[in-house]
Amino acid sequence: MKVGISAMEYYLPEKVIDNDFFEHSKNEFLEEKVGIKERRIAAKDEATSDMCVTVINNLLNKNKIDRNEIEFMILCTLSPDYPIPQTSSQVQHYCELPKSLYAVDVRLGCSGFVYSLSMAEALIRGFGFKKGLVVTADKFSMYLSYRDYTVDTLFSDNASAVLVEENPKLLEITAHDFGTDGSGTEQICVKTGGSRYPRKDASSPFQLVKPGIERSDDYLYMNGRQVMKFANATVAPSAERVMQRAGITLDDVDWVIMHQANKLMLEDIAKRMQLPPEKNYINLWNKGNTTASSVAIATKEVLDRGERLNHGRYWIITGFGVGYSWGTTALKYVG
């Protein structure tokens, strides 16, 4: 049985914020090293489920897919509409998907698309489903404080939707590699709001770290150096294991699409892989870090550009980050 991707769409909110918005930003560093010029921010009244509904309807309508044929939906987000219930149930209702739908939320970050894709494959192979959706969406702006320049310039709000089915029309899933290292839990973290540190009536106070960096436990913290160290140690070996499992080498690979964290990190990982620069797709410039959607968005862009779409050749996709967690998949282009 062949399982894979037959259609893809993504959504970015209308509001664009460029580097000039940030009083403390160093534009030269952001653009040359991080690789980001612009990012997208959702409207105040635009929830994660709203972005999901938009991208799913776009996917179904553009590709003339009968929504009554959708049997499952895996929705990956770290910014659900409510702590309870799951966002996938709301999206099922708003999109008028069948009530027989197998719908589940996945709480993963930047590795989330690769993990969710493998879950979709397993549902088709193991449960006999024929057709379903992998949806990723995050309103990460809700976690950002504009008092901390180490994170506030990096992220975009976003959503993506992917049709996964038997006998795929675009990309066949051929091999996987996954890993988890929970020792990195607090290296990318919003500390309050869960059962360990419940959010109290008063917000967690901001504390001055140094000029331009004030932090509160209510907002996203990221230890960039440790995340870079983690990614450099895990991503290249994971890609090598996937290629071994797929029975291929880099010579058989047309594209490597990594989680779009920052330009410098992606270039460093590519060097460790001995990957030619032209095979390393980077789209950070006008999007920033789109969290769980970044791999899906970049994959869709490569398909739309039409460069090196060679039947029977391979693509490597890899996500890594929050958790720590990482996941890598080998795809064969069958379009």
Amino acid in position 203: S
Provide the CB-side half-sphere exposure for 133 (13 A, CA): 37
Residue 134 per-residue DSSP state: E
> Of the residues 19, 95, 259, 262, which is catalytic?
259
Residues 6+ apart with CB under 8 A from 332: 4, 171, 172, 174, 312, 313, 314, 315
> Of the residues 19, 158, 262, 289, which is catalytic?
289
Residues 6+ apart with CB under 8 A from 317: 113, 114, 256, 257, 258, 295, 299, 328, 329, 331
* DSSP H or E stretch at residue 11: strand 3-11
Handedness of CA 240, 242, 245, 248 (dihedral sign): negative
- Is the bond leading into 205 cis (omega within 30 degrees of zero)? no
CA gap 76, 213 in Å, rounded: 30
- 269 by Cβ neighbours in 10 Å (0-12 / 13-18 / 19+) ranks as buried
- 289 as an active site residue: the answer is yes
Residues 6+ apart with CB under 8 A from 29: none
> Of the residues 110, 158, 176, 262, which is catalytic?
110
Alpha helices in the chain (DSSP H): 27-29, 48-62, 87-94, 112-127, 224-246, 263-273, 294-305
- 259 as an active site residue: the answer is yes
- Is the bond leading into 324 cis (omega within 30 degrees of zero)? yes
Would you please indicate which residues are annotated as catalytic (active-site) residues?
110, 259, 289
